[in-house]
Amino acid sequence: MMRRPALFRFLAIPLVTLGLLGGTGHAENGGRAIAVVVAAGDSWNGIRGGMSKRLLAQIYRKQVVLDDKGIRLHPVNLPASHPLRAIFSQAVFRRSPLDMAGYWNEQYFQGISPPHVVASQEAVMRFVADTPGAIGYVAACRVDKRVRVIYRLEVKKKLADSLCR
């Protein structure tokens, strides 16, 4: 059971280091990052000229809902039980998904639903590639040509290694 992930890591880390995994831009950090992704091509209009952890938090809290050209943003999440979701939540909100429940209870009462949830990183890639305005996150080692990386969240190496298993 343990052989495959170990072998994958053994191959993936040098490949990312060499920048051979799908246009990541900052390939030297590719194996240690969560990649924030949008659809490949030029459909992404940008938000306030760039991306930041702060802006990402506002998008995932649905405080920012439109891009610079007025296209609706569709943030997509992994399930609350997914390890990458927990890491993303801590990195962006400094809270666990469960700690965000109170916030979403209040938003639900206001008619605002939390971000769409899909089951896996592959599902995130498909959703982002197929949905105008979609924005998601995957382990950098999962990035391929279907998506474009617009921001990286650096995480500790131990965590990063676990993301690519």
Query: Long-range contact list for 157-161, CB < 8 A, 24+ apart?
Result: 157/32, 159/87, 160/31, 160/32, 160/33, 161/9, 161/31
Kindly tell me which residue out of 11, 18, 20, 72 binds another protein, with binding defined by CB under 8 A: 72
Kindly tell me which residue out of 20, 66, 122, 130 binds another protein, with binding defined by CB under 8 A: 66
**Residue 31 and residue 24: Cα distance in Å, rounded?**
10
Establish if 113 lies at the interface with another protein (CB under 8 A). yes
Q: Which is nearer to another protein, 91 or 117 (CB)?
A: 117
Establish if 150 lies at the interface with another protein (CB under 8 A). no
HSE, side-chain direction, 13 A CA sphere, residue 96 = 6
The site for another protein (CB under 8 A) is made up of 48, 54, 57-58, 63-66, 70-72, 74, 77, 79-80, 93-94, 97-98, 100-106, 108-111, 113-119
